[in-house]
Amino acid sequence: MTEHAPVILDVAGLALTDADRQRLANPLCGGIILFARNWENRDQLTHLCADIKAVREDLLICVDHEGGRVQRFRTDGFTRLPPMRALGELWMKDGGTGASAMRAQDAASACGYVLAAELRACGVDFSFTPVLDLNWQDEAPTQAQALAAPRGGSGSLGRPGASRSGIIGDRAFDRDPRVATVLAKSLMHGLLQAGMANCGKHFPGHGFVKADSHTEIPVDKRSLKAILADDAAPYGWLSTTLTSVMPAHVIYPKVDARPAGFSHRWLGDILRSKLGFQGAVFSDDLSMAGARRIDGREVSYTEAAVVALNAGCDMVLLCNQSVQTESGAAVDELLQGLAGARRNAWWRPSEASEIRRLELLPQRPAHSWDALMAEPRYMRALDLLP
């Protein structure tokens, strides 16, 4: 039988319990995602990561650590990284046509290096970053729109009807997909220098919608042509640079009635075939409201996972159920349910998916924290942070 470990789960506390170890040892478990509740200090985090690897060396230890308001570890030496919008603002400091754009790219690489080097020094393998969503919140003009606008005019440079998404906001680099792409690529270069893979999110774009997919099911009514020309453009331009992608729990009804993460049209036909993406695809959290209704009805975590995997996801995340349900029963339910789905051929394990998962693991040793503090590249990167 083909090996495939698609489930990324979480744990409740600062250390592993026997139940945690049993779940992590399950052959369907491919990794773990950490949260702020799993953090006390660097020593504790380092021990937790070592204990996870002692269960299975191939488990991918993940975290949402972008900078700004989405940064899980902020104390005991961890650098407080800026929101990605700060890099876009640096780019535009002299109008976006001069040296500030070059400085912004260097600063973005520095952010990526500091982010990845500090995480890896504590044993974390991977962060779900960068955000490729566009910042529609401020309805700022793109460079092309700004340059085309009449001098002194007050033309409508923002897009009519833009929804000003607060869930993305300053997590995005910029409103202009070209600026967002170049800064994301620079940040990914910094990640790579520290030995970490990357994850572009949330395909094909979450920035236009107002609703938060954690609590609602957002709907983006634009055409496929409009989305590909704007929000999804970075994915095509970065198709050979991205090592993984996370789709949005957003419905784009002019393309598919299902959210992007459950749609073969989005993941197979558009992301892989049309845009040429070759890396891994993670589902977003299956416990989010945007993942709990498919085809107009509420579904179980197992059914959501099966639909996501059959649509083209390589891995599925189930977050916060270790603390939301008694003794993490929902996590066990998913693992058991997927095993049953495999036996009944409702889902077939993919060797290619497993290869893509393993390719996200770091390929070289990390600096220890003490060594990192004296490492010239790291010290230079700190100086470049905005």
Active site residues: 214, 284
Give the number of other Cβ atoms within 10 Å of residue 11's Cβ: 25
C-alpha 84/C-alpha 77 separation (Å) is 21
* Cβ-count burial 216-228 (b if 16+ within 10 Å, e if not): ebbebebebeebb
Give me the DSSP letters along 299-337.
--HHHHHHHHHHHT-SEEE--SHHHHSGGGHHHHHHHHH
Report d(CA 229, CA 227) in Å as an integer: 5
Q: Contact 127/63 with Cβ under 8 angstroms?
A: yes
- Which three-class secondary structure state does DSSP give residue 383? helix
Separation of alpha carbons 81 and 65, rounded Å: 9
* DSSP letter, residue 72: S
Bridge partners (DSSP) listed for residue 65: 71
CA 225 distance to own-chain centroid: 24
How many CB atoms within 10 Å of residue 240? 9
Distance CA 228, CA 60 (A): 31
Q: Where are the alpha helices (DSSP H) in the chain?
A: 18-25, 42-55, 85-91, 99-121, 143-148, 177-193, 224-229, 233-237, 264, 289-292, 301-311, 321-324, 329-343, 351-358, 369-373, 376-384
The DSSP string of 241-259 is T-SEEEE-S-EETTTEEEE
Helices 177-193 & 99-121, crossing angle to 10 degrees? 40
Pairwise CA distance, residues 307 & 192, whole Å: 32
